[in-house]
Chain A
Amino acid sequence: MGFAVPTAPAMNAPIETTAAAPPADAADCSRVPYTRYTDPALYGRELERIFYGRHWSYVALECELPEPGDYKTTWVGERAVIVVRDADGSINVVENHCAHRGVRFCRQPYGHAKDFVCPYHQWNYDLKGNLIGLPFRRGVKRIEDGAVRIDGGMPADFRLQDHGLTRLAVARRNGLVFASFDPSVEPLEDYIGPEVLPWVDRVFDGRALTLLGFSRQRIPGNWKLMQENIKDPYHPGLLHTWFVTFGLWRADQRSQMVLDAHGRHAVMVSRRNEGGGGAVTRGVTSFREDMTLHDPRLLDVVPEPWWGGPSVTMITLFPSLIIQQQVNSLSTRHIVPRGPGAFDFVWTHFGFADDAPEMTERRLRQANLFGPAGFVSADDGEVIEMSQQGLGQHPGAFTVSRLGGTGVGPTDHMVTETLIRGMHAYWQRVMGE
């Protein structure tokens, strides 16, 4: 049995769950050629159609940019962008290369600026990316042999407004900031869809956020393997000792798999149990019957009122964002592709402005489970690297994702690979493969 769809605090009636319609070609998605993870030409088309196409990419939490002029540099696909808060409080996202000679001019990871100046020839841009000035535009006046002459300068038809920074479409929702290179992209709420949006809003309901810090790792694997890892409820209770032993995620729990109508986004929802031995631990080599913590504060879980039942919700927003609620630990995880065989994985941990100091401490302690050294998550990076190695050595082979059949649709259990199939069904439609 599934969970009630979360509702916004002001709403009384629960939202009806809309079942995602299985895509017509879903049957093909239980087999994926290894080359889908390794082919450089295919990867180039992915950047164009997915990362620079009609999709929203995560770029920031608003709490990273509290004041006008605050900026950060980040990435949409492989393109460097600047995210900056404007004087009126709005947020602009512009591409980080000068319109003059292409220089990636903004080099600080974050900072505060009144405007942006490329150091090469001092072309000067405002916080919206408009070109507002450049040296010697009208030439250089000097007097030679008693006569005034103007040397050089831009042609008379040179217009500043033709030479701004590339400006991206921006969408914000309750502290999350997304950007898109394609201005024809649908509104963010429609993009996320009515099935997944309530789960995003459950974490980001408009409360002020507190930034706790970042973790950054480079994982030598294709970017889709990270999406699949968080669309794969099969592995956590098998790979991760902590999850199966302490009952944080395992197959005998009440759980629910949610997809949007396209199959591109998903939510894995579950509620922890007491752990211990049972039908789902027999023969599971990662299970440790006798394991107890020397310091139980590492898992000092305190349920929060906004959970409304689930103790874990792992949200994948195509193509580049994972939103983690795992007990009291909260993070966004940003996937930045780096060629077909690698991606950067940037974790932003956060809490809420009204957290008591003890809750902040708890979130920070539980962060030991996650990130590049986490008791749980370090395993995921390692296994993705090993996947990429195996996928690269046999171009003619196919992966198998047939747990729970070959179709795509929501389930009220976790013994399924339906979410992985859903993403590949969508991928195939976008890529025309």
Chain B
Amino acid sequence: MSRLAADGTNRGLRVGPELREAVAALYADYAAALDEARYDDWVALFTDDCRYLLQPRENHDRGLPLATLSFEGRGMLRDRVYGITRTLFHAPYYQRHVIGPLRIVSRGPEGLGVHAHYAVFRTRVHEPSEVLNVGRYLDTVVVDPQDGLARFALKRAVFDSEMIPNSLIYPI
């Protein structure tokens, strides 16, 4: 989907600074909302009929549909938030996202295709920090012409990590 440049390499699309800024702000807001446990703010970063997928690379590469988390629409995201805050029993931990440079790979009627690498660290009470999950985002982002804000129509986190260290409670 990305552009073949004159030097024969695959390059991301060049878009205007305003659009790039809107997309970059979305990813910064996404990491901040999750890592600061502002989950209602997290839900607001998605379109009403969004898709959220957290999928092992193994399944993604083999074309197998199973995802670790698979949500359709903001309602299911809210159900996950309720699970995180009210029902799931787990050892408490902090989560910290580090998201690499954004690469805009396509532009079409469905939105912008945006790829980015990520690492998420977990810090449990009384424990040193550790790597929780490493992978890449393969997302579709739309910008609302009304408010100029970018939102996720599709958030797909495909993780390299071959083993989840016990459990994964908060979204990636």
Contacts and interface: CB of A to CB of B under 8 A. Distances in A.
Interface of A: 109-110, 211-220, 239, 241-242, 286, 288, 291, 293-295, 297-298, 344, 349, 360, 364-365, 367-368, 371-373, 375, 378-379, 381-383, 385-386
B168 A372 contact: yes
B56 A216 contact: yes
B117 to A, nearest CB: 21
A373 B172 CA distance: 11
A379 B88 contact: yes
Query: What are the 6 closest A-B residue pairs judged by CB atoms, nearest first?
Result: A213-B66, A295-B75, A241-B87, A213-B64, A294-B75, A213-B59
Interface in B74-92: 74-76, 78-79, 82-83, 86-91
A220 B58 CA distance: 23
A245 to B, nearest CB: 8
Contacts of B168: 372-373, 378
A385 B59 contact: no
B71 interface: yes
Given A215-B68, A367-B70, A371-B68, 4 more contacts: A212-B64, A212-B65, A372-B167, A373-B169
Contact of B70 (A288, A364, A386): A364
Interface string B154-166: 0000000011111
17 contacts: A211-B64, A213-B62, A213-B66, A215-B66, A216-B164, A241-B88, A291-B87, A293-B75, A295-B76, A298-B79, A373-B54, A373-B168, A378-B88, A379-B89, A379-B90, A382-B89, A383-B89
A424 B162 CA distance: 32
Greatest chain B CB density within 10 A among A213, A217, A381 is at A213
B73 interface: yes
Contacts of A364: 65-67, 70
Interface of B: 54, 56, 58-59, 62, 64-76, 78-79, 82-83, 86-91, 162-169
Contacts of A215: 56, 66, 68, 164
Main secondary structure of the interface of A (DSSP, over half): mixed
Contacts of B88: 241, 375, 378-379
B69 A368 contact: yes
Nearest to A372: B164
Contacts of A239: 89
Contacts of A385: 91, 166
Contacts of A344: 163
Contact of A382 (B58, B62, B72, B90): B90
Contacts of A371: 68
B1 to A, nearest CB: 24
B79 A294 contact: yes
Contacts of A288: 86-87
A218 B164 contact: yes
Contact of B167 (A298, A367, A382): A382
A375 B72 CA distance: 16
Nearest to B63: A213
B66 A242 contact: no
A375 B70 CA distance: 12
Nearest to A212: B66
A217 B166 contact: yes
Contacts of B79: 293-295, 298
Contacts of A375: 83, 87-88
Contacts of B83: 375
Contacts of B90: 378-379, 382
Contacts of B71: 368
Given A218-B164, A239-B89, A367 B73 contact: no
B89 A217 contact: no
Nearest to B168: A373
B72 A297 contact: yes
A231 to B, nearest CB: 20
B66 A295 contact: no
B168 to A, nearest CB: 4
Contacts of B78: 294-295
A421 B75 CA distance: 43
